[in-house]
Amino acid sequence: MPEIRITNLKKAFGDLVAIDDLTIDVKDGEYLTILGPTGAGKTTLLRLIAGLTEQTSGSIFIDGECVDDLPPERRKVAFLSQSYSLFPHMDVWENTTFGPIARGWDPEQVEIVGREMLEMVHLYERKDALPRELSGGMQQRNALARALSADAKILLLDEPLRALDARLRLDLRHELKKLSKDMGMTAIHVTHDQEEALTISDRILVLRDGRIIQSGTPKEIFNEPSGPFIHHFVGEANFVSGVLKAVEGDRAVITGDDGQDYHTQATGIKPGSRVVTGIKTEFTLMTKDRWGVDINNFTGQIERILFLGRFSDFEVKLDSGQMIHARLPGYQATKFRAGDRVNIHYSPERMLVFPEPDGGLKKELEMV
């Protein structure tokens, strides 16, 4: 069974620690996504599993067998790189059958596997084409067929959709997952695109500075982020630092550093502690008229509007001086102009509370 167990894995390049004491279990047949900002160590992790880089310490087990001393070709792990790396001097057929031939299968079997894989990705008709004659999507499918035909049970995907245009990316996401499930493979998919991670994964690992900061289903990651960073990284959020005043029933009250009271979800944190509370920008309500309820109501002025197509992003300067963002769907966005006075409302059930991070809020939210 293709399951992967990684224990206390560490990789340092000189002084720079890329992977810091990682322990991960990937279940058989799971589609796992590693999500993280640029430089989090995602690609390094894949390269370690594939055997392309040697770890500083720690071990990797595939199907219970320690593979630390095995060269890449004996790990039976198919690696699909960002640029696909289709061999430029070989045609689609030669690329696809590279793995079986390299492993010394007999010609009939090579023929069968090559054909099966190319038909599966709808490229059999183009088997004589050279990679440069294919479109981006076809190249991606060719690379996938090549990776799948190599008899590997583990598929490592390094930002496989990055080089494609937006529309194609959406289509191929699902195809990728379906193929890997159909073939009974265990897949690890690396991406920095939170939307991609949320739609495709069985489970997401959020990686930052070489460490796992949260592991969970897409819903858990989105709704119950483990800290301000993930709250912000997976769907943007507005934050306030302050002191937890009281917890009553399913509500808590926080006195923000701006002097205002914020009503939030309940929390297990001890009252009196320094905390951070945040709300995703799409749950930040913005109206021209004053909101009916009394709590979490603020006024401010629209400074800037960013048109994003289906959404618009509003930058609002609250009267307390704080800058916040609100995200409105297109049909509502047309009602507002830069300079308009607006009312902002945070629903308490959407406001998550975290202990204040060690380095302060600003440092916590830094992407790199």
Q: Which residues contact another protein (rule: CB under 8 A)?
A: 47, 50-52, 54, 69, 71-79, 81, 83, 85, 87-89, 98-99, 102-103, 146-147, 150-152, 156
CB of 50 to another protein, least distance (A): 5
Whether the CB-CB separation of 123 and 159 falls below 8 Å is answered with: no
CB of 159 to another protein, least distance (A): 13
Other CB atoms within 10 A of residue 258 CB: 15
SS3 helix, strand, coil % of the chain, rounded to 5? Answer: 30, 35, 35
Token code pair at residue 148: 């799948």
d(CA 215, CA 6) in angstroms, rounded, equals: 14
Comparing CB distances to another protein, the nearer of 54 and 224 is 54
d(CA 109, CA 180) in angstroms, rounded, equals: 21
CB of 123 to another protein, least distance (A): 17
Whether the CB-CB separation of 289 and 345 falls below 8 Å is answered with: no
Comparing CB distances to another protein, the nearer of 6 and 286 is 6
Comparing CB distances to another protein, the nearer of 86 and 361 is 86
> Cα 323 vs. chain centroid, distance in angstroms?
26
Side chain identity at residue 208, one-letter code: R
Comparing CB distances to another protein, the nearer of 70 and 253 is 70
CB of 89 to another protein, least distance (A): 5
DSSP class of residue 131 equals: G
**Length of the chain in residues, anyone?**
368
CB of 113 to another protein, least distance (A): 12
CB of 46 to another protein, least distance (A): 10
Cα angle, residue 345 at apex, residues 314 and 349 outer, rounded to 5°: 115
Comparing CB distances to another protein, the nearer of 14 and 292 is 14
CB of 203 to another protein, least distance (A): 23
**Strand 16-26's sheet: what is its strand order?**
16-26, 4-13, 57-62, 65-66
Comparing CB distances to another protein, the nearer of 152 and 230 is 152
Closest C-alpha to 147, from 179, 171, 174, 104? 179
Report residue 177: phi and psi, to 5°.
-65, -40
Comparing CB distances to another protein, the nearer of 107 and 330 is 107
Whether the CB-CB separation of 218 and 198 falls below 8 Å is answered with: yes
Comparing CB distances to another protein, the nearer of 148 and 351 is 148
CB of 48 to another protein, least distance (A): 12
